[in-house]
Amino acid sequence: MGKVVVAGGRCKFFKWEIGKIREWKPVKDLLAWGRAWSLWSVHLCTGCCSPELMAMACSRFDAERFGTLPFPSLRECDLLFVLGIVSEKMAKRVKLTYEQMPEPKYVIALGDCAISGGLWWDSYNIVQGVDKIIPVDVYVPGCPPRPEAWIQAVQMLQKKIMERGE
């Protein structure tokens, strides 16, 4: 398949050959499918949408069957759920959380508070939408959004990943 270089007891393919393999359409599609159906998520809960998160993870809705798995470590997660109000003070933490995630990374903004500031839209210390801080892939309106809407958002993100072929 390619030249193998043995250095220090390890076999390595040339970097350019791996790059060529990744550009093949079947391999790109396979990688996109794998990314879309194995989204490890971290949740940034600052408001009252948290009970809906618990409902989404329980047996009635079972979000894991749609390919999203809650994970405690930011270093392995590629999906960030932002829910609740984001204050100016919290905005730094949101950005830091986003920056600690590996590429490719995706963001879903859940609820009116995360999307536009919610009830506190005219407050001096509330960010008018999390998209002012980090890029958002999918928005889920509602106060609080139903678990079905969360699952639909995950499916929309999966479709977006498959279409992009990332």
pLDDT at 129: 86
* Tokens read off for 64: 């894991």
Three-state DSSP class for residue 152: helix
Q: What is the pLDDT of residues 120-137, one digit of tens each?
A: 878 888 888 898 999 999
The string of DSSP codes covering 29-98 is HHHHHHHHT-EEEEEEE-STTHHHHHHHHSTTT-GGGGTEEE-S-GGG--EEEEES--BHHHHHHHHHHH
pLDDT at 12: 54
Residue among 59, 111, 55, 61 nearest 81 (CA)? 111
Q: CA 56, CA 154: separation in Å to the nearest integer?
A: 11
Q: Say how many Å lie between the first and final Cα of the chain, rounded.
A: 24
Query: Which domains are assigned to the chain?
Result: 12-164 (3.40.50.12280)
pLDDT at 120: 80
pLDDT at 4: 45
* Tokens read off for 139: 């928005």
- The angle that helices 147-164 and 25-36 make with each other, rounded to 10 degrees, is 160
pLDDT at 18: 62
Residues of the chain where predicted confidence (pLDDT) is lower than 70: 1-19, 21-22, 166
pLDDT at 1: 47
